[in-house]
Homo-oligomer: A and B are copies of this chain.
Amino acid sequence: MNVDSQRAGRTGGRDARRAMRNAPVFDMLPALKRGIPTCDVMDEDQIARIDNASMAILEDVGIVFRDERALSQWRVAGADVRGERVHLDRGLVKQLISSIPSEWTYRARNPARNLNFGGKYSIFAPMGGAPYIRGLDNERRWATLADLQMLLKLTQMSPALHCTSHHIIEPMDVKVSYRHLDIAYSSIKYSDKMFMGMATTERNAEDVVKMAEIVFGPEVLETTPVITGNANCNSPLVWDELMLGAIRAFSSKNQPILCSPFALGGANTPASAAPTVAQLNAEALAGLSYTQVVRKGSPAIYGHFLATVSMKSGAPMAGTPEISLMNFMIGQMARHYGVPWRTSNLLGGAKSFDAQAGYESAMTLNAVLHAGANFIWHSAGWNEGGLQCSVAKFVVDADMCAMGYRMAEGVRWDDFDEAIQAVRDVGPGGHYLGHPHTQANFERGFYMPKLFDDKPFEQWQAEGSVEITARALSYAKRLLDEYQEPKLDEGIDEALKDFIAKRKREIPAEDALNTDR
């Protein structure tokens, strides 16, 4: 059942209403408004200790901006620039980040999918960046553009996923220098939710912002966030030319960009949680400050990617206790500075969708929710440390986001008195299934996980002992069968196609000129 036929069901006859009750709802949930407290693991003195350590790093050690244009902008802005190292005074940093908006509303292609963001508002986006996919057959292979389009359709059908993620997978069948174009076009075409734009280089970022201008009109971007990019800091303490160019492309057009140190705890940060946060905080603040050098008042998001590194293999681990603690701490720092923040969700390091993947993912989900993150990226599909997008995991994760959403909304009180009356009606030794309050409130009262089996063992066994991977893949197929494309305005579609065609003609010549790309 698609969104349109659901709507018909609401005004249609009895059969339609019954069908609606039994069918899953695919309408997007509004941005999550938190109703539970954040897990504040630091007191004010400890927040000050992190802040002070980060600022001292920026002042004394400095941070590398490997980009001539950024260095000259920093000189103009009053920073102490020594070679590539920019020494940032804490006064300058605090003044610059003070102009970052703490909340805004994202506009989506479908205005019903606009999103409150920042403060108490959080949004979930699926994973990004996997070169491999475990597809509908559960086999692992290189991912393709067709896979991306399938995953965009699943995103569109997942109520708790609030926006798409540019390259959910890396479309390995598309030339690297064209990928950002095909990815952005697919994001816009197959979903009417807010989308992300590849910020892999300045040129690519400019291209995707241009495509957003085609969809919304340049004047809309001047006042309204419609797209989000991600720029990674090369920890420790290096912002490189590609990422700084991407920041320029987004910030100059008033579009939000995630300033995300990429911390592999113990490898490119100290082997300890609090000092890792101090380093990462310095890196994020430097990136955020630069967004305001580019354009004062432009929206920006305190980002990070966070893993701890295995002593055995050197590989990033997911779901470990220190990742949770660092999420809580980073949340406190971002709130201290009044800047919305991004984290990563439902991360798995498992190779298949086994119990390890489930544990790791749910550990991350809870960390993220208790930490109070605003932009909750990588929320569906992430396994094998991000090298693999598992389609089975994708649909389960999307439902886990819906469950996390329900938890983070907090406790409902609207039926309290009525339900206490039910306790009096039922009395000692009675049961509630037949009580009118139960019948009226069951679905609102207790979330029913979509893909968890709750049948008795004997029935489960008689039906073939189907584990969650197979159930999830069947469910994904059903979603794809029921998917209906949210039609893109034909004029916009043509303009996007023309732009892409033009860029694909131009890019080979640009690449020949810029061998470093």
- Tell me the complex Cα distance, A56–B446, Å: 25
Please judge, given known A-B contacts A266-B438, A273-B411, A428-B237, whether A455 and B49 are in contact too, CB under 8 Å: no
Contact B447 A320 (CB under 8 A): yes
Q: Among B234, B272, B433, B437, which residue has its beta carbon within 8 angstroms of that of A415? A: B272
- Tell me the complex Cα distance, A324–B404, Å: 10
A386-401 vs B, CB cutoff 8 Å, 1 = contact: the mask equals 0110000100100010
Q: Among B411, B448, B449, which residue has its beta carbon within 8 angstroms of that of A274? A: B411
Please judge, given known A-B contacts A271-B441, A370-B370, whether A278 and B420 are in contact too, CB under 8 Å: yes
Q: Among B46, B316, B423, which residue has its beta carbon within 8 angstroms of that of A275? A: B423
Q: Tell me if A358 counts as interface (CB < 8 A to partner B).
A: yes
Contact A393 B355 (CB under 8 A): yes
In the complex, chain B residues whose CB is within 8 Å of the CB of A433: 266-267
Contact B355 A357 (CB under 8 A): yes
Q: Tell me if A287 counts as interface (CB < 8 A to partner B).
A: no
In the complex, chain B residues whose CB is within 8 Å of the CB of A352: 465, 467
- Please give the count of copies of this chain that the complex contains: 2
Contact B427 A237 (CB under 8 A): yes
Please judge, given known A-B contacts A452-B317, A452-B319, whether A353 and B351 are in contact too, CB under 8 Å: no
Which of A34-42, A72-80, A145-153, A165-173 is the contact stretch?
A34-42
Contact B423 A317 (CB under 8 A): no
In the complex, chain B residues whose CB is within 8 Å of the CB of A266: 432-433, 438, 442, 445-446
Q: Tell me if A206 counts as interface (CB < 8 A to partner B).
A: no
Q: Among B61, B140, B405, which residue has its beta carbon within 8 angstroms of that of A427? A: B61
- Tell me the complex Cα distance, A325–B408, Å: 9
CB neighbors of B among A410-459 (8 A): 410-413, 415-416, 419-420, 422-424, 426-433, 435, 437-438, 441-449, 451-457
- Tell me the complex Cα distance, A352–B46, Å: 44
In the complex, chain B residues whose CB is within 8 Å of the CB of A385: 454
Closest B residue to A424 by beta carbon equals B61
In the complex, chain B residues whose CB is within 8 Å of the CB of A237: 427-429
- Tell me the complex Cα distance, A273–B328, Å: 26
- Tell me the complex Cα distance, A336–B319, Å: 32
Q: Tell me if A136 counts as interface (CB < 8 A to partner B).
A: no
In the complex, chain B residues whose CB is within 8 Å of the CB of A446: 265-266, 271, 273, 308-309, 317, 320, 322
Closest B residue to A354 by beta carbon equals B467
- Tell me the complex Cα distance, A412–B276, Å: 12
In the complex, chain B residues whose CB is within 8 Å of the CB of A441: 270-272
Q: Tell me if A99 counts as interface (CB < 8 A to partner B).
A: no
Q: Among B351, B355, B367, which residue has its beta carbon within 8 angstroms of that of A465? A: B351
- Tell me the complex Cα distance, A272–B444, Å: 8
Q: Among B60, B132, B428, B455, which residue has its beta carbon within 8 angstroms of that of A61? A: B428
- Tell me the complex Cα distance, A278–B308, Å: 42
In the complex, chain B residues whose CB is within 8 Å of the CB of A361: 358-359, 362
Contact A429 B363 (CB under 8 A): no
- Tell me the complex Cα distance, A410–B275, Å: 14
A336-361 vs B, CB cutoff 8 Å, 1 = contact: the mask equals 00000000000001111111111111
Contact A428 B236 (CB under 8 A): yes
Contact B356 A357 (CB under 8 A): no
Contact A423 B236 (CB under 8 A): yes
Q: Tell me if A242 counts as interface (CB < 8 A to partner B).
A: no
A234 to B: closest C-beta gap in Å? 7
CB neighbors of B among A52-81 (8 A): 53, 56-57, 60-64
CB neighbors of B among A164-191 (8 A): none
Q: Among B36, B429, B447, B461, which residue has its beta carbon within 8 angstroms of that of A322? A: B447
A-B pairs with the 8 shortest C-beta distances?
A358-B358, A275-B419, A362-B362, A366-B366, A321-B407, A271-B445, A237-B428, A355-B358
Pairs A–B under 8 Å by Cβ, sample size 28: A39-B39, A57-B424, A61-B427, A63-B428, A140-B457, A266-B446, A269-B423, A270-B420, A270-B422, A270-B445, A272-B415, A273-B445, A274-B412, A274-B416, A311-B442, A311-B448, A317-B454, A321-B403, A329-B411, A350-B452, A350-B468, A351-B461, A356-B467, A359-B361, A359-B362, A359-B400, A360-B362, A363-B365
